[in-house]
């Protein structure tokens, strides 16, 4: 079955710097890759997603890149702000209405 | 409703007790998922419904776990004879037709003592 690995497990950056989180997946049939942000005690919230027919997607300070050949995808946050501090999860699926396989999460701390 | 609603928000159960967790998805969403999230971990898939049909229950950890969605809207996850290792946050998510992705509920935090 699908396996998703996520790195790093923790990431500390200075406010204004960029943050990059990387994930790899094992099932070449996966074609949908969302990223979720989860604040302590709250629900996971979808922040951006990408499908296998594109290589990059951007939404303001957040971007995601996908390399299907290497089976890895990355989340890029630019100009980080303290409110970006949270746990970020990547996930992989065979479609947006199929089960998601999540990575183990990255705890991002943005230092003011 | 405007979002995915789960109840109760918190549940403390004595070991051996049965519990029932409720999920009310976004109106009109055909797909409904249950996930289990242990402390400090990513959510793990439990089961999936499309309307009232349970299409995938491969993630249910044992036969003590049972889920239903009899009318294709509200879903209930039941755990019988709870054990300490069942302590986790149980998340429900729904999605509609098309490519909108999931919306998660706030979860039910189950503590088995």
Reported as a single tens digit per residue, the pLDDT across B39-90 is 989 999 999 999 999 999 999 999 999 999 999 999 999 999 999 999 999 9
Q: Which residues of A touch B45 (CB under 8 A)?
A: 99-101
Average pLDDT over residues A76-94: 96
Specify the pLDDT at position A13.
97
CB contact residues (below 8 A), chain A span 38-67, against chain B: 42-46, 49, 51
Tell me which of A100, A101, A104, A106 to substitute to probe the interface with B (most B C-beta atoms closer than 10 Å).
A100
Specify the pLDDT at position A34.
94
State whether residue A35 sits within 8 Å of chain B by CB. no
d(CA B103, CA A15): 29
State whether residue A25 sits within 8 Å of chain B by CB. no
Residue B77, helix vs strand vs coil: strand
Nearest CA in chain A to B48: A99
Q: Which residues of B touch A105 (CB under 8 A)?
A: 40-42
Of A34, A43, A99, the CB nearest to B45: A99
Which residues, 6+ apart, have CB-to-CB distance to B85 below 8 Å? Answer: B112
A97 vs A90 pLDDT, higher one? A90
Eight-class DSSP state of A60: T
Specify the pLDDT at position B2.
73
For chain B, the farthest-separated pair of C-alpha atoms sits apart, in whole angstroms, at: 42
Please check the confidence at residue A96 and state whether its pLDDT lies above 80: no
d(CA B73, CA B29): 8
Average pLDDT over residues A46-75: 94
The alpha-carbon gap from B44 to the nearest alpha carbon of chain A, in Å, equals: 7
Q: Which residues of B touch A103 (CB under 8 A)?
A: 42
| Cβ <8 Å between B31 and A34 | no
Which DSSP string corresponds to A73-97?
Answer: EEEEE-S--GGG-EEEEEEEBSSTT
Please check the confidence at residue A67 and state whether its pLDDT lies above 80: yes
d(CA A76, CA A80): 10
A38 vs A94 pLDDT, higher one? A38
Per-residue model confidence as pLDDT tens digits over B28-44? 899 999 999 999 899 99
């Amino acid at each position: 079955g699908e396996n998703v690995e996520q790195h790093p497990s923790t990431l500390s950056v200075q406010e204004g710097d960029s943050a990059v989180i990387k994930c790899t997946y094992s099932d070449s049939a996966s074609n949908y890759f969302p990223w979720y942000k989860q604040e302590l005690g709250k629900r996971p919230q979808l922040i951006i997603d990408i499908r296998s027919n594109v290589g990059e997607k951007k939404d303001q300070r957040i971007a995601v890149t996908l390399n299907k050949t290497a089976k890895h995808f990355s989340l890029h946050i630019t100009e980080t702000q303290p409110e970006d501090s949270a746990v970020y999860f990547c996930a992989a699926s065979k479609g947006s209405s199929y089960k998601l396989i999540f990575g183990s999460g990255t705890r991002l701390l943005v230092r003011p | 409703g405007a979002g995915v609603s789960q109840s109760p928000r918190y549940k403390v159960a004595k070991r051996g007790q049965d519990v029932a967790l409720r999920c009310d998805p976004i109106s009109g969403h055909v797909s409904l998922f249950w996930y289990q999230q242990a402390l400090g971990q990513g959510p793990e898939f439990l089961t999936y419904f499309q309307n009232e049909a349970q299409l995938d229950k491969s993630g249910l950890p044992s036969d003590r776990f049972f889920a239903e969605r009899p009318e294709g809207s509200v879903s209930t996850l039941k755990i019988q004879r709870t054990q300490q290792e069942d302590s986790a946050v149980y998340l429900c998510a729904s999605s509609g037709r098309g490519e909108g992705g999931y919306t998660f509920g706030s979860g039910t935090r189950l503590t088995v003592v």
